[in-house]
Amino acid sequence: MLRLTATTLVASCLPLLTRAQVFSLSDLKWTLRNQNGSIVVPGSLPSQAHLDLLNAGVINEPLLGINEYTERWVVNDNWTYTACLTPFMQSYKKDASEKTFLVFYGIDTIANITLAGHPVAWVNNQFRRYTYDVSHYLDSPLGDDNNLTIALESAWYYGLNVTARPDAEAFPNTVDVTTSDNFEYPNVRQWIRKIDDDFGWDWGPAFVPSGVYKPAYLVTLSDSASFSELPENPTYPRISSSILLEETSIDIYNWVLNVTFGVRSVKSFEQPTVTLSIPELKLTSQSLELDSIPADAETTTYISVNWSIPDGVPERWYPYNLGTPKLYNLTVTLDPSPGEGNGPSDVAITQTITTGFRTIELLQTAYSKEEMASRGITPGDQWHFEINGKEFYSMGTNIIPFDPFYARINPEAARWVLESAVKSGQNMLRVWGGGIYQPSDAATDGGLYDFYSLCDELGILVWSELIFSDTLYPINAFLLESVEPEVRQNVRRVNRHPSNVQWAGGNEIEGIVMNANTSLANGTHYLDEFVYLFQDYLHDIVLSETKSVPYTDCSTTHGVLSLDPYVLRFANGTPGYIYGNSERYNYDATQAFNLSTYPVSRFVNEFGFHSMPSFYSWEEVLENLEDFTFNSTVVMSRDHHPPAGSLAWPNPNAPQGQYQMSSAVELWLPTPGTSDTNQTFAQWCWSTQLFQSMNMVAEIAWYRRGAGMGEHNLGSLVWQLNDIWQGVSWAAIEYSGRWKVLNYGLANAYAPVVIQPFWMPENETLTILATSDRWETVQGSAQLTWYDWSGDVLNTSTTSFSIPTLNNSLIYEGTGLATVLPSGYNANDVWLLMNLSARADNKTVTSESYFTPVSLAQANLVDPEIAVTPGDDYTVEWARGLGLDHPYGTVGYFMDTTTGLPSNGFYLIPGIDHTLRFVPNVELSTVRDPNPADFVVRSLWNNTHV
């Protein structure tokens, strides 16, 4: 025991002995207290008040039951983190040549910072890195105060105080116009630089957290001290003895590699240099001269250099479905004081930064007359991306924050979501502008988990957005002086990532201001403010920091009149022309498969329909047996669609959202109802997911078809990929990592070559197309087979096809049910199986889809007599509308052992078995060796039969 204690003591001292110049504030002993001192508990860093209260047993898990409501009192209090600096001061020596910096990578959000009794700063922006010279405070503490204190103000009350000021701008919401979408905590988020959905959204909770949610450090520099060499890529700030390197930006454009450093230095350096090398390419620059570095500890000095790379030397980075996401390690050595020798001086800082070479463009100018004539394109503007000079089809989803509390995001959970996107055929993710600036990686700026670096590695394109969403914003110097460094820091940080494709100014705001402009008497005032902020101010900031990616004003936009100068189009267009991009949300289930209601658009960046999480996800948060029903109070309290717009609880509008799901199931699927209440609830949950997937797959097919039509549609991004809690949402992946039916649907809908039906009920026309997103012509064959519901073949046909680049091939077209259906059969008694086999990318690709001439609620289904043979794999025999569910506590997906692709939610035919394998994620699963008997088979028959 004594030996163990001694070993532990030595280990705990190592950070102080070997990292005296970089001290992690996580190593301090923190306390958390509320404003009146009635609650005092151990704190931690990085953390947030809810998490420390949870760890202390003051509150229960916030995501459990109705705790979003019962724990609102946490939002209504102010919370203070305090730590004694004695562990740091034991290694700190007063020295006139020394400077100590306090570095915060993320404070959420409104806080007063004091050190040794001295006020350091008041901060009000969650998305900024803050650095302060605190040397003089450490040298002269007030009295016996040896503490670091971070006093956090309730963001909700701060917002109320700001909006109560007589000079606060008004944002009216009327019957005709909404200038600010409110969810739970109303009318404040546009005044606070904080995650928008912290105040509530229609797919998530409202906890309005506060805390130091990213790592923080004390960094000591000296112009005379010796320097102990640190790891090349530490998880803490990079320093030499006299320089704090706050950031390194790598921006690659036209094969020019721009490197920008942000530094603070305690001494001046007149002739600093940088040396760059890419060892794999055997490329090394000369010592490139930089501007001088002043002795300035108060502000950040930026110095830049360009290095030209021969075009033909590096292999270009591509998204995984179009090529290889090739990455290179770039070695960067900043030498403030180069000497005469061959190597860098002892004050040099060397980093290895992973990056890639690619060009990305967003084409927004008008199609030429020649293109319109030769390709049959509808007049108007382009709106699509090109990678390395080639247009391609963007297919993917939208990302929201992974957890209501950033400080506890599990890196493995984030990785799983991104890997799941790849497994389901997605090549682009849109980082929604109401959430968080996603991190580069776990180390850079205290990111805690990998995002952009993982997208670089996996070959996923990322559409990035500045954090402005669904409201108009006040234009004043106070807001702008906070926003400018926020935007600059984040753009510079993301520059090095070849996965990034653009910066959009915000989410869905252009449409709001266009409506305000025409509906309010002073509407032009709001339009002028929007133009200033999103057309001019943010545009100029972003493009001053990057030359490698474009800027657009908004996620959903009518496009531009001009790119240089940047002038937005708004409503200035010619009728019948197509401009910008679009989105679709239609909660009238009767219109779910009405193709005439789908946008005819160049790019659709949002479309979705909500569904329940699985029964197993409900088990994670429901506490009582009576809660396990579709419209129980607790279940409905976790449906925030449409939003309450206030703090009313449970959401008074939840019945509307519940009805949208239940009416969709009742209209298109057999209505769940059995003698087993748990089975009924589970089938309701599954059926809402099945409808969601059917609806999204139909829309994706329509938009992908558009690549070869007049609209030349080259993008569809489903809302949304991931969940932030266990509740009603539009997600394809649940909070635990469990795939909904939708993510399997995406794997089929986003396959390289697909076969899909298009039914026009008004004239009873069925069109079947094979669609390809490949850059080469694809050839193959399609088989159409009609079955009755007993699984008997009624007729079959095979058609060969050839699909040009990004286009379609007609497989079948018929008008009138008498022509379409097998002779002598009723629509209620038959269904059509469509499958395809083709050669693409030097391999065989397949696709399968289904057409039922009537709703499955009206089809004359028969008992599927499902047989399952469990084992290492699961062989399933004969069913229709079938899906498998893996047990509680497991995370993974089902894979077809024949194709190697994700598979779930399919039709089966007698004599044609499907063998599936469950591929677990062991890191995320709490049950790592599930009993095969606990896997559940679901079919539409189970909606009405036990």
Chain segment 551-603, per-residue pLDDT in tens: 999 999 999 999 999 999 999 999 999 999 999 999 999 999 999 999 999 99
pLDDT in tens, 244-273: 999 999 999 999 999 999 999 999 999 999
Burial class (CB in 10 A: 0-12, 13-18, 19+), 240: buried
Query: What integer pLDDT is reported at residue 263 of this predicted model?
Result: 97
The per-residue pLDDT for 9 is 26
Q: How many CB atoms lie within 10 A of CB 888?
A: 17
* pLDDT attached to residue 914: 82
3-state secondary structure of 399: strand
- Tokens for 566? 């940047």
| Of the listed ranges 16-20, 107-111, 392-396, 671-675, the one predicted with least confidence | 16-20
To 10 degrees, the CA torsion angle through 889, 895, 896, 900? -160
Beta bridge partners of 946: none
> Parallel, antiparallel, or unpaired: how do β-strands 604-607 and 582-584 relate?
parallel
Give the per-residue pLDDT at 878. Answer: 47
Sheet of strand 147-153: strand arrangement: 40-43, 30-34, 79-84, 147-153, 110-115, 118-123
Residue-level pLDDT at 46: 98
**What is the DSSP secondary-structure string of 280-347?**
GGTEE---EE---B--EEEEEEEEEEEEE--TTSSPBP--TTTS----EEEEEEEESS--SSSS--TT
Check residues 605 and 905 and name the one with the higher pLDDT: 605
Chain CA centroid to CA 696, Å = 18
Q: Is the confidence at residue 236, as pLDDT, over 80?
A: no
Cis geometry, peptide bond prior to residue 46 (ω within 30 degrees of 0): yes
Q: Rounded mean pLDDT of 53-72?
A: 98
Name the more confident of 641 and 347: 641
Cα diameter, the chain: 97
* Residue 755 token pair: 């076969």
| 188-212: pLDDT as tens digits | 999 999 999 999 999 999 999 999 9
Choose from 610-624, 864-878, 904-918 the range with maximum mean pLDDT: 610-624
Give the pLDDT score at 882.
72
- Locate 1 and state its tokens: 């025991």
Q: Please, which residues bridge with residue 846 across strands?
A: 837
pLDDT at position 215 is 97
Q: Are 259 and 495 in contact (CB under 8 A)?
A: no
CA distance 793 to 664: 30
pLDDT band (50, 70, 90) for residue 868: confident
**Catalytic (active site) residue 623:** no
Residue type, 168: A
CA-to-CA distance for 10 and 24, rounded, in angstroms?
17
- 187 CB contacts (<8 Å, ≥6 apart)? 159, 163, 171, 180
Residue 7 has pLDDT above 50, yes or no: no
Asked whether residue 758 carries a pLDDT value surpassing 80, the answer given is yes
pLDDT for residue 230: 56
pLDDT at 380: 98
Q: What pLDDT is stored for residue 907 in this prediction?
A: 87
- What one-letter code names the amino acid at 71? E
Phi, psi for residue 209 in degrees, rounded to 5:
-70, 165
Q: Write the CA distances from 869 to 110, 271, 873, 887, 932, integer angstroms.
A: 58, 73, 8, 17, 10
Higher-confidence residue of 882 and 399: namely 399
**Summary mean pLDDT of the chain:** 93
Q: What distance in Å separates the CA atoms of residue 885 and residue 874, rounded to the nearest whole number?
A: 12
Smallest Cα–Cα separation from 836: which of 782, 798, 785? 782
Tokens of 125: 């922006």
Residue 19: which pLDDT band, with cuts at 50, 70 and 90?
very low
Is the link from the previous residue into 650 a cis peptide, with omega within 30 of 0?
Answer: yes
Residues 210-232 have a mean pLDDT of: 80
Q: Are 508 and 469 in contact (CB under 8 A)?
A: yes
Q: For the segment 508-544, what is each residue's pLDDT rounded down to a tens digit? A: 999 999 999 999 999 999 999 999 999 999 999 999 9
For the chain, what is the radius of gyration of the CA atoms? 29
Tally of CB atoms within 10 A around 410: 15
pLDDT at 2 over 70: no
Q: How far lies 736's CA from each of 202, 457, 618, 775, in Å?
A: 19, 23, 11, 37
Q: Check pLDDT > 50 for residue 331.
A: yes
As a whole number, mean pLDDT of residues 330-341 equals: 88
pLDDT digit string (tens) for 681-720?
Answer: 999 999 999 999 999 999 999 999 999 999 999 999 999 9
The C-alpha torsion from 654 through 657 and 662 to 664, rounded to 10°, is 170
| Listed residue (494, 459, 506, 431) closest to 721, CA to CA | 431
Range scoring the smallest mean pLDDT among 712-721, 810-819, 865-874: 865-874
Residue 16 has pLDDT above 60, yes or no: no
pLDDT in tens, 266-285: 999 999 999 999 999 999 99
Per-residue pLDDT at 222: 87
SS (H, E, C) 881-914: CEEEECCCCCCEEEEECCCCCECCCECCECCECE
Catalytic-role residue among 71, 391, 508, 711 = 508
- At 594-641, the pLDDT tens digits run 999 999 999 999 999 999 999 999 999 999 999 999 999 999 999 999
Query: What would the mean pLDDT of 929-942 be, rounded to a whole number?
Result: 91
* Distance set, CA 361 to CA 312, 317, 393, 434 (Å): 20, 14, 13, 24
Lowest-confidence pick of 120-134, 256-270, 450-464, 875-889: 875-889
Please determine, for residue 171, whether its predicted confidence score (pLDDT) is greater than 70. Answer: yes
Mean pLDDT confidence for 836-856? 95
Q: Which residues pair with 285 in a beta bridge?
A: none
Buried-exposed string 280-306: b where 16+ CB fall within 10 A, e elsewhere:
eeebebeeeebeebeeebeebbebebe
pTM of the model: 0.95
- For position 13, what pLDDT does the model report? 33
Q: Are 185 and 158 in contact (CB under 8 A)?
A: no
Residues of the chain with pLDDT > 70, as a percent, come to 95
What's the confidence (pLDDT) of residue 366? 97
Handedness of CA 607, 610, 611, 613 (dihedral sign): positive
